[in-house]
Amino acid sequence: MPLKLPDWINTSIWKHILTLISGSGLAQVVTLLSLPILTRLYQPEEFGILAVFLAALAVMTVAINGGYDMALMLPEKDEEARKLLLLCIKIALWGSLGWGILSSVFSKNFLTLLDIERMAPWHHMLAGSLLLEGLSQPLRIYLSRLQKYRVIALSKILRSSFQAVVSIGLGIKGYLFEGLIMGFLIGQLSGLIPLGLSYIRREKTTIENLDSVRTLARKYRDFPQFALIANWLNNASRYLPFFFIPILFSEFGTGEEINGWFQKVDQVLTLPIVLVSMSIGTVFFERGAKAFQEGLAPLRKLTRQTLIQLLILGLPFLLMIMIFAPELFSWVLGEEWEEAGRFARWLMPWFYLIFITTPLSWLVDIRRKLKIMLWISLIFFLFRAGIFLFWQENDVLYLIQSYGMMNVFLVLGQLVYYLYLGGILFPKLNYPAEK
């Protein structure tokens, strides 16, 4: 009698998911193997400066393609998606140039406010990093639409490998935070190359393609109008700690060190999200967009399957971090990172919910509920900014505990809304008439 697999396992979906996970898995293995070396070559303060660089990049990356990258999965015809991709690339080129000019004028004041003037000579690297991300981001989504998952997996492996090798090499040579930043940039460039080559081999860009994107820009204008602002607010609020921690604890001389601990916790706890959750999300977006074109019931079924997968897959990591985090951080990264493990224990429930909600967040784009998501993102931003703006205590662990618990309640509310969009909760309100 053949073995019957559980209903939530869809073989065709998991074929694509496992391809992405294999690439992400190898990439994260490289990252994990390099972590014990990097944390012994670089001090927590160096990772704290890197955290500000990466946070600034993450906040600006949301807007670098004008929000049109989020619409790449939606057109029924590949020709329309290809023109959207060209629009994304054009916006990225102009956006990175504009940021390069602005950073030359205002970066010194910004870095002085954060008490990290050491980074001033390297501020121009942010514009280059922004351009690389602005090219990579829409290419990944477009190639996912074409189900070129092996190319995406190769890109992740190359990016992680080059970043690790360069960062370790420069650390051995005595570089400080600049070694981490240069390693990150080289990794970005290495990951972009296979994406670009895959696109160039398949597509032939013409002048007509470039001229016709204006019509598509108007057709999908709700993405820059609503989705862009919503995602910017959500991303900005997500990285607020990296900007506020140096300010709050600068008078104690520990701002950069605490930022480094928080950055490493964020990196470690994000590993399953990058490895599994985002891979599931990539496939969920592609399948969900097609399912919704067929009818409402297929989208509900896909959402239910995805939710069960995420709940089960994230549970072991949640338990491991909640029980053993301080000991694991101290043993793997070094004794000076034990405090980061205590941070991780209190932040892990929040990251578990992020693991679950990340793939399901594409329901907002699939259902085109962008205005409502804008209000949700604004609420997130106000709550997260408020806890830092009105914080009066000197106890950093108490701050981490409060911040983590607040985010648990915020993301739980977000999950309820995603399950409503997927038809799991309140189906009579959501689906008054099934197709």
Split the chain (435 residues) into runs of 10 and give each run's mean pLDDT. Answer: 45 56 70 86 86 84 80 77 85 82 66 61 79 90 82 88 93 88 93 89 57 70 70 82 80 70 86 75 79 79 88 90 89 86 92 91 80 83 89 84 93 91 72 46
Residue indicated by tokens 């694991």: 328
Q: How far apart are CA 400 and CA 259, in angstroms?
A: 12
Cβ contact 255:241 at 8 Å: no
Q: What share of the chain is helix, strand, coil (3-state, %, to 5)?
A: 85, 0, 15
Of 176, 64, 38, 53, nearest to 125 by C-alpha is 53
Amino acid 430: pLDDT: 59
Amino acid (1-letter code) at residue 330: S
Three-state SS string across 105-128, please? HHHHHHHHHCCCHHHHHHCCHHHH
Amino acid 2: pLDDT: 41
Of 77, 82, 88, nearest to 224 by C-alpha is 88
What residues have CB less than 8 Å from 424, skipping those under 6 apart?
A: 300, 303, 304, 307
Amino acid (1-letter code) at residue 243: F
Can you list the alpha helix ranges (DSSP code H) found in 334-395? Answer: 338-360, 362-367, 370-389
Q: How far is CA 258 from the centre of its chain?
A: 22
Q: Record the pTM.
A: 0.72
What residues have CB less than 8 Å from 221, skipping those under 6 apart?
A: none
Amino acid 19: pLDDT: 59
Cβ contact 297:434 at 8 Å: yes
- Alpha-carbon distances, residue 248 vs 55, 241, 245, 388, 392 (angstroms): 17, 10, 5, 8, 9
Q: How far apart are CA 15 and CA 10, in angstroms?
A: 9
Classify 198 in phi/psi space as left (phi over 0), alpha (psi -120 to 50) or beta. Answer: alpha
- Alpha-carbon distances, residue 10 vs 43, 313, 427 (angstroms): 45, 15, 23
Q: How far apart are CA 240 and CA 316, in angstroms?
A: 28
Residue indicated by tokens 């007509």: 208
Amino acid 114: pLDDT: 57
Of 135, 55, 129, nearest to 99 by C-alpha is 129
Amino acid 236: pLDDT: 83
Give exposure, 165-188, as e/b (b: 16+ Cβ within 10 Å). Answer: bbbbebbeeebbbbbbbbbbbbbb
Dihedral pair phi/psi, residue 169, rounded to 5°: -60, -45
Cβ contact 133:188 at 8 Å: yes
Of 164, 178, 162, nearest to 34 by C-alpha is 164
DSSP assignments along 57-89, one per residue:
HHHHHTTTTTTGGGGTT--SSHHHHHHHHHHHH
What residues have CB less than 8 Å from 125, skipping those under 6 apart?
A: 53, 181, 182, 185
DSSP three-state, residue 283: helix
